[in-house]
Each structure stands twice: as structure tokens, then as C-alpha cells.
Chains A and B, each alone.
Chain A
Amino acid sequence: MTDARKQQGEKLTEAEAIERAKQGDAAAFKVLYDLHKRRVYSLCLRMTQNTASAEDLTQEAFLQLFRKIGTFRGESAFSTWLHRMSVNVVLMQLRKKNLPIVPIDDTLEGDEEGTVKKEPGAPDERLTGAIDRLRLQNAVDSLPPGYRTIFVLHDVEGYEHNEIAEMVGCSIGNSKSQLHKARLKLRELLKADRAEKARK
């Protein structure tokens, strides 16, 4: 980008910011940070449920990224590269704290958790209407850690089961199983929340 453009206050594109960041340009780092901070932070927050931890992990993820930015050759999207790094940072932190990531070899077969809970004689009511973002967020935060990890990685962040299996160290079948249970659990939580709201 020419100095004239810069003087006119035109923003750097991501590609321009990456090249400038490789040269140590502080402003370029800030551009990259601002472009991706929300997604990285949200991921960390969903996985840890703690704002202080999430901020520390966000900082760590970006620090690792910027240390290695000189090696980025553009074979994949920058956001993909950053995001994968963020996931690894979070998972490493969870492992360090011996926090459960995903239960081992837990499949649907013969598992009560994998079925729809119904009271005898009562219809299974639908979760009608649009799902409120805040309520969904609260419900996700209420999930058991293993369910939450898989749900966040798959449904929120868009990773495929084979990618999740590789990242968290479980089987693809386990990843699918946990995801299904997570969604069923969320449905229960959202219905209960809606019933509670209706009673008030």
C-alpha cells in the first residue's frame, strides 16, 4: 500500500496487513488483531466459560500467531490458520488443568444419554419459535465440558468430525455421539428455560 493511501486513512487489507506484520509493523498487527479478535475470544470463552481465562488464551493465541507469522505462506486462509492455533491453545490449556475434554469411547449404543427423554404419557413438545442467542449461549455454558467442546467446535465453529477427532484425540464416532447428546441436552435446557420464562 502506498504511503498516499495510508495518509488518506484507507484501511489495510488483510493480505497487506500480513505482509506488513511480517516486517514488524505494529499497526499491521493491530489490524489483524481487530479483524479476528472476536472469533478467537468467543471460542476461548465458550470453551472455558471464564472471561479472565478467555482473555489470557486470546492473548496467547495471537502471540503464537504473531511469532510465527513470518512462516505464513498463504497456502490456507489466514483465518483458518489462526483459528486452528486458537483451538490448540485452548485444548492445551484444558489438558494442563486436567479438565475433561471428551469422554473416551462414549457411543450412542445402549446409552441413555443418547435418547430423547420423555415422561410416560406426555407428548414431547417442540421448541417453538426462534432461539434467543443469549439463551442459547447460557444453555451452551450449562453443558457438560465434553459435550460443550464438541458442540462448540462443530456447530459453532464449523469443524468437521474428522478434524475434531484429530484435535481432541477421540474417534470420529465419539465426536458424532457427543455432538448428538449435546444437541439433545441443549434442547432440554432450552425447553426448560422457556417453560420457566412462561411461568413468570
Chain B
Amino acid sequence: MNCPEFERDLPECVEGVPSPEQQAHLNSCPTCSGLLLDLNSIASQAQMLSAADEPSAAVWNALEERLWSEGLIRRSAPAYLPAEVKPSFMQRWRAAWLVPVAAALAVVAVVKLYHPANVGDKNPVATQSQPQAQAPAPAQSARLKHKPALSHEDQQWLSTVSSRPPAQLAKFRSDLDQANAFIEDAQQSLQEDPNDVYMQQMLMNAYEQKQMLYELVVDDSSH
């Protein structure tokens, strides 16, 4: 074996064990031997480049903001409630937020019960797969001063249910507007006091409830 032949087989030598023929050449050729040692050294030392650098603190800060805005993280609510918890906010919303969710659950339950696909089903009640939520005690209803703008995701969601009867569609839209208004209001409260842990929890709950609205209706659309 000569040097050009050895170099042709070099990649296999670096990643494996030289054959007897290759080893014989290595034993007699310091140039090829040195080359193989260098390439092995480069390959093995490369691992020290893994995890060699650290991102700035700004990366986590930005990531945390995104996680928060997407409702993926929540902070633990305090064991106690503050003595004064944004009375104006609570007066506006209190348990009224639960009303659209309870209504959505009730609508889904009714639709499942009387869906045409269930005709002939001997036990239509058994097809009711969604639990009926207990409507909360009547509370001061929220009056929407304005309708928040619909996000792209909201518009996509509405388009998936566009074939529903108009009255149902109007109800969905109303529930969605309520949800968005609640979120917007909570966000504004947080802007005034970003460290308000309780309000952070309220915002998290709002995102979760909105997600539940999506899932309830879309899940029903798929059946």
C-alpha cells in the first residue's frame, strides 16, 4: 500500500480500526501516521466545543415572556388573597367569566344529545360525552365596552364553526369576545402592576378557559 491508496481509505481509518494492510503502511510511513493522528485528534477534541458557550440572560427573559403570553407557564398563586384585590376588576368580572364557558358546555351537551348522527341511537343520552357544568351563581354580568380585535387564531377558529346555525355562531362569537375582553382587561391590570401575582393567575386562568372554548367547539365539529 502506498500513500495515495492509504489516503483514499483514510476516512474509514479515522472512524474505525485500520486494516492489517493499512496498519503496515502506518508503521512504515510517518507522514500518513501523523496525518491519521491529527485527524483523530481533531475528531476527539471537537467534543469540547459542545456546550462551550452560554447565551445571555436576555434569551431567557424573552423566552419567559413568550411562554407567559402563550399561557404555557403559570406562577403559583399566593396562599392568601390580598386584602384588596383590584376591586374594580373583580366587580367587572367576578364569576361572570364562568358563564360563557358553562354556556358553551351546555350547548355542546345539547348538540351531542340531538345531533342527527344520533338518530336511531337507542340511548341518545349515552352519547353525551361532555359533562354539563353547573352554572355559577348569578353574578354581576360584564358589559363589554368594546369588542377586542380578533387574532388570526380566533378568526381561524371561527371559520371552523362557520357552518353552524347563525344563532349558535353568534353565541360562539359572543363567548369569544367575552374571553378576549377578560384577557385584555387582565393584561391592562398587569401593566399597572406587573408583580401582581394574583392577577397573573387570573390571566393564566383566562387563557386556559379560552383554550377550553376552542377545544369544546372544535372537538364537537370533528364528530
Give chain A's interface residues, CB within 8 Å of chain B.
24-26, 29-30, 33, 37-39, 41-43, 45-46, 54-55, 58-59, 62-63, 66-67, 108, 115-116, 123-127, 130-131, 133, 136-137, 140, 151-152, 155-158, 176-177, 179-180, 183-184, 186-187, 190
Contact = CB atoms under 8 A, between A and B. Distances in A.
Contacts of B53: 38, 41-42, 45
A127 B51 contact: no
Contact of B60 (A25, A33, A115, A177): A33
Contacts of B66: 59, 63
Interface of B: 7-8, 10-11, 14, 31, 34-35, 37-39, 41-43, 45-56, 58-60, 62-64, 66-67, 70, 72-76, 204
Given A37-B54, A45-B53, A187-B38, 12 more contacts: A24-B74, A26-B73, A59-B63, A67-B72, A116-B7, A126-B34, A127-B41, A131-B42, A155-B43, A156-B47, A157-B50, A183-B43
Contact of A55 (B11, B42, B58): B58
B56 A55 contact: yes
B7 A115 contact: yes
A115 B11 CA distance: 11
A30 B64 CA distance: 9
B73 A29 contact: yes
B72 A179 contact: no
A136 B45 contact: yes
Nearest to A124: B31
A120 to B, nearest CB: 14
Q: 3 nearest interchain CB pairs?
A: A155-B46, A126-B34, A38-B51
Given A116-B7, A127-B38, A55 B59 contact: yes
A156 B7 contact: no
A8 to B, nearest CB: 17
A41 B39 contact: no
**Chain A interface, >50% SS class:** helix
A119 to B, nearest CB: 13
A131 B14 CA distance: 17
Nearest to B46: A155
Contacts of A46: 49
Contacts of B10: 180
A1 B31 CA distance: 59
Nearest to B44: A155
A37 B55 contact: yes
B115 to A, nearest CB: 29
A131 B67 contact: no
Contacts of A137: 49, 52
The residue in B8, B39, B75 that gathers the most chain A C-beta atoms within 10 A of its C-beta is: B39
B55 A140 contact: no
A42 B50 CA distance: 6
Nearest to A21: B73
Contacts of B52: 38, 42, 133, 137
A90 to B, nearest CB: 14
Nearest to B72: A66
A124 B34 contact: yes
A176 B42 CA distance: 15
A115 B9 CA distance: 11
11 contacts: A38-B53, A41-B54, A41-B59, A63-B63, A115-B7, A126-B35, A136-B42, A156-B50, A183-B42, A187-B35, A187-B39
